[in-house]
Amino acid sequence: MDPQEHTRLDAATVSAVQELLGAATAADGAEPLSEQFLMHLRPDAPADGVTHLVVEDGGDTVAGYAQVDGTYAELAVRPDARRRGIGAALVTAIEKVTADPHVWAHGDLDAAKQLAAGRGYRRDRVLWQVRRTAAAGALPALTVPDGVTIRAFEPGRDDEAFLRVNNAAFDWHPEQGGWTGAELAAREAETWFDPSGFLLAVDGGGTLLGYHWTKVHPAEGDEGAMGEVYVLGVDPASHGRGLGKVLTLAGLHHLHERGLETVLLYVEADNAPAVAVYERLGFTVHAADVNYAR
């Protein structure tokens, strides 16, 4: 029952963890690990600052898994191994790794609420997944301000400028801020990466003002292919020019032109100005992820 702590997992354990994650997703309707945590399962992923906690269940199966990255953690318990105290054991192990645990629960599930309440955790952040579907009607027209050009990202040429704007725009954000070339390179290596959908707003001198990085999710199960507002950032020095709305629409039109009628994005539930913008564009709340802290 006691979770075993690892800095890196062997291929067999990774396979068993992925099987657990698939079973949990099918049972709960929500993926238990976010993109960054899934990337840490790869054999070439950096091990610095990442701890894997594994509850084995005999043979080649894993009953429970948690991952800690800094102070943030995510966990999952195989559906047929639940109600055996494995979730509580994983949280205890997380608390031994970090003194200030922040645990994500994807899907805002009742089981996560009960586990959090029983361990003395409160809801610290709520991240909404909002979606825009064909029912929202036609997109507003895109009007680009004078002196601004929208163009595609060019790997190698635009890396430094992107990192500058991204880190300035998200200096407050625990996951998106503080990026280095490593985070960018890891995503450029993903099969979904498409620079034509990574849109930049630049001024007449070529200075980057903001960006809208889109992503395409292929059809899976009963859900058709969808677009995503993956990340959107505006240099704080360029605030007040309406570039956030311009870049949002530029990305939505790009995805629509690719035949994607449904577009999703994630937004902090307490970010009222952003939520209002997305509501006006026809986005509605589809699901919620909750971060719990003590």
CA pair distance 290, 103, nearest whole angstrom: 8
How would residue 287 be classed by pLDDT, with cut points 50, 70 and 90?
very high
| CA angle (285, 286, 287) in 5-degree steps | 105
Phi-psi region of 114 (alpha: psi -120 to 50; beta: other; left: phi over 0): alpha
Q: Find how far residue 227's CA is from the centre of its chain.
A: 14
What mean pLDDT do residues 44-50 have? 81
* The overall pTM is greater than 0.85: yes
For residue range 232-286, list pLDDT tens digits in order.
999 999 998 999 999 999 999 999 999 999 999 999 999 998 899 899 999 999 9
Encoded tokens for 18: 């992925």
CA pair distance 79, 241, nearest whole angstrom: 49
Catalogue all structural domains in the chain, each as residue range(s) with its CATH number.
4-120 (3.40.630.30), 131-288 (3.40.630.30)
3-state secondary structure of 75: strand
Beta strands 102-106 and 72-77: pairing type? parallel
For residue range 166-204, list pLDDT tens digits in order.
999 999 888 888 999 999 999 999 999 999 999 999 999
